[in-house]
Amino acid sequence: MSIKAELFEFGDYCLSTQKNRVEFNYQVIFSNRKRVAFGETITLPDQFSLSPSAEKVFNKCLQSLHLILGISYWKLFIPKKIKIKSFSLTKQQALFWNQVYTKGLGEFFYQNRIKNFTSLVDFPFKTGLVVNSSSLLRKNRSLVAVGGGKDSIVSLELLKKNGLPITGVVVETEKHYLFISKVAQQANINLLTIKRSLDSKTISLNKTDKVYKGHLPISAIYAFFDLLAAVVYDYRYLIFSNERSSNEGNLSYQGTVINHQWSKSSEFETLFNDYVKNYITPDIKYFSLLRPWHELRIAQEFSRHPKYWSVFSSCNRNFSISHTPPKNRWCGRCPKCASIFLLLAPFIPKNKLVSIFGKNLFNNQRLLDTYRGLLGLTKTKPFECVGTVDETRLALYLIWQKKVYQTSTIIRLFEKEILCALVNPPLLQQNVLKTGDLNNIPKNFKLIFQP
């Protein structure tokens, strides 16, 4: 960057008179005093009225949303100094935001080879400031984040099976996600849709070499969006479908574990819950229903719900702003597609799985290096939301046992480089497919996991 960015400022945020539209403002100030302003708008699905106590919590949510949405604009220039114009943080709040930006952008810092990144983010705080959370009377019902993939579908079906009252929620950025609407229809649930409009300058800037580019902690952004919806539309529980596998990192950089899925991890879940309880409200509980399960166990459960096979997708190309989404919901070229095909193959008949993806991904030579990465045969696991190395190897072992993909390139790779190194596959299968601890699950949801 030829001209250095010196300051990132969180400006004001403005609520429309109808109260369902909010604009968040930011600006970057450079060493030559030039300023670049950014604005982002969110639109909630319905107009609403709030009690005085809910209004207080609502404003705290807007402050948090202002800070998390700012990550999209701060990372363009990564200025060292940060200023918050319209409110202040306590020291502990500032430490939370330092962690969210630093760990959530870990992959971004690695990809851009940013030096000393662990001390780069420094949110300001006001010494002596006290911020307390506020009580909020809630209906005993749940808001479930729906992403259109196997994970949220499994959560929906588990919750429905146990008769728990639920509503889906989705955040649409710049476009309508038709396949998610179809998933909600298939699940027979109501779906709250929050619309997000980015500043158009970010899209044009990202096509140049004038800014840094890279991964965002999108699940953290969704968590704050959905928290706002839970406050506005009266929900006690905020349920995500992040699995145990998301705790596994990709690599170490400057002494820090870099995890593409950090904002889906147990660490983020704990940090977020503590922040909400201490500074926003103790009466809304955020948790991941699928935390006790690995990806492979979720895939096994998903295979029992064939009514979703023709509508679901986990391919992130569907959410890309700059690329056309795949015609049949699966691009068939990315690590996510490769991983999902592999995880489902032990449980869904071959002809059905090939029909879902439009092709047999095990025969795609271009995916060979991707599969090597997923199997732990390269230095770095692909930067995507994929399974752990152990469960990926187990999945291929289960596929190999079925003898239906024997001529595939990936099976030959497995036989040559993995099979002889597998120690006690039955024990590995037992460990990967079992239900882990339920520490993060509220008491009235633990019944879901009883045999």
Quote the pLDDT of residue 16: 85
Helix residue ranges per DSSP H, 303-438:
335-344, 350-357, 368-374, 389-402, 409-417, 425-433
Q: Which of 439, 435, 437 is nearest to 451 (CA)?
A: 435
- Percent above pLDDT 90 for the chain: 88
Looking at the chain, the whole-number percentage of residues with pLDDT higher than 70 is 98
18 and 49 Cβ atoms separated by less than 8 Å: no
Residues 198 and 209: beta-carbon distance below 8 Å? no
Arithmetic mean of pLDDT over the chain:
94
- pLDDT number for residue 323: 64
Q: Rounded mean pLDDT of 124-138? A: 96
pTM of the shown model: 0.95
Is the CB of residue 343 less than 8 Å from the CB of residue 294? no
Asked whether the beta carbons of 202 and 115 are under 8 A apart, the reply is: no
pLDDT-derived band at 421, boundaries 50, 70, 90? confident
| pLDDT of 2 | 58
For the segment 92-108, the average pLDDT, to the nearest whole number, is: 98
What Rg value do the Cα atoms of the chain yield, rounded? 22
- The predicted model gives 267-296 an average pLDDT of 98
- Tell me if 82 sits within 8 A of 26, measured CB to CB: no
Per-residue confidence at 322, pLDDT binned at 50, 70, 90? low
Rounded distance between C-alpha atoms, residue 119 and residue 134, angstroms? 32
Q: Given this model, what pLDDT does residue 318 score?
A: 76
The residue behind tokens 């959905």 is 226
pLDDT recorded at residue 185? 98
State the average pLDDT over residues 39-48. 92
DSSP E strand stretches across 73-179: 81-84, 142-145, 166-173
Higher-confidence residue of 19 and 386: namely 386
- What end-to-end distance do the CA atoms of the chain give, in Å? 57
Residue 1: is its pLDDT beyond 70? no
Q: Average pLDDT for residues 53-73, to the nearest whole number?
A: 97
**Could you tell me the two tokens for 158?**
């588990």
What was the pLDDT predicted at 328?
76
User: What's the average model confidence in pLDDT over 406-414?
Assistant: 92
Q: Which is it for strands 35-43 and 21-30: parallel, antiparallel or unpaired?
A: antiparallel
What is the mean pLDDT of the segment spanning 163-184? 95
Q: Is residue 318 within 8 Å of residue 331, measured between CB atoms?
A: no
